[in-house]
A = this chain, B = another copy of it.
Amino acid sequence: MAILNLTEESHLHIEKVRARMREEGIDAVLIADNANLYYICFAVFRGYIYIPAEGRPLCFVIRPIDLLGDDVVSLRKPEQIPALLAERGYSQPAVLGLEMDDLSYSDVVRLHKAMGDCSVRNASPVLRSARMIKTAEEVRLIHADGMRQAAAYKKIPHVYKEEMTDVEFQIEIERQLRLEGCLGYYRTSGRLMEINMGSVLNGDNADCPTPYDFAVGGGGVDMSLPVGADGRTMKPGTTVMVDMCGNFNGYQSDMTRVWSIGDIPERALRAHRISMDILRELEKMAVPGVPVSSLYEKAMEIAAKAGLTDYFMGHRQKALFVGHGVGIQLNEWPVVTARSKDVLAAGMVIALEPKFVIPGVGAVGVENTYHVTDNGLECLTPFPEEIANLL
């Protein structure tokens, strides 16, 4: 039998959600999305969490059948929820929040109908903005990810063999991550990020456009999953960029490092140094109160001053961001773009990934996951940033 209880940490999260509910005039939210379920109670189950603006939240659990606890109500289907709430003295919400960006149209319509006479609003932004500011415990979990991801990345030079393909190289990195405890599952938001355990980009494959919302693309080996390694043999004079899964505990870190196969041209080494320069600059300026958009602008400005605009954040196809929030999902808020309206706040966790694609060589650049503190950025993915030679 497994026990599900709302912990002190759960209640810290619930209070963040409630603060946003009040701003939006929402009387209660009914949560069904797996990432949001995990955010509230550190467990994924089939069911729902009901959070009223005031009073005790309840977990409605369909499966697993053995999940019990003080805050758990077992049920078969969502249509039972109103009666189960009424029995416990809860009043009907006038305005109910449902996760309209995360659940299917059919699910939202079914839940609205099940919950009876109330108006509904989109609770997805409520949850996403609550999750944007991490607690100390969440930062600790992401830091723990970063340490384990770094331990696996340390093995990377040892798994390389000459004349390997990029896919073979990735497979050995996947294995090292898994042996280190990586769950191997990227939890992402939306349908624009499908991938298996992350991306390994060698040489000009880094310049291959992808349909997905990753910073750099890659053609993949099959049109059903057109991203990442494409099966090419890794040749001397190229780089290989490793941006693999950092999910060890439900939260995740996001870290990219680059290795070279033999010597690479100075123009690639220089672009890599510019990437590190950008990170050093952003680490200093990223303090609470600074607009997120100014991080993007500063990165663009440094790339432009170096004459590298054409290669920054992709070459043939460009990403329009240099970073993103990270936590339970890989693509959390804030998104570090020119159009962001967000302002940095203490407790945000963001991955910054100023990357260049150098034709004829490959991708260069560094990505770290950072905790926003009053003193600037605290790096949660400590690992040497320089390009090391695999040969």
Contacts and interface: CB of A to CB of B under 8 A. Distances in A.
A332 interface: no
B191 A195 contact: no
| Chain A interface category by residue count | 35 or more
A91 interface: no
A183 B225 contact: yes
Contacts of A46: 192, 211-212
B317 A44 contact: no
A188 B98 CA distance: 23
A194 B187 contact: yes
A179 B183 contact: no
A42 B223 contact: yes
A359 B27 CA distance: 46
Interface in A14-49: 32-34, 38, 42-47
A249 B222 CA distance: 6
17 contacts: A32-B191, A33-B191, A38-B223, A45-B211, A62-B211, A64-B210, A64-B211, A64-B317, A66-B317, A67-B211, A98-B105, A101-B104, A103-B191, A174-B175, A174-B184, A222-B250, A224-B249
A224 B106 contact: no
A222 B183 contact: yes
Given A103-B105, A105-B108, A317-B64, A211 B179 contact: no
A43 B175 contact: no
Nearest to A176: B171
A102 interface: yes
A43 B210 CA distance: 11
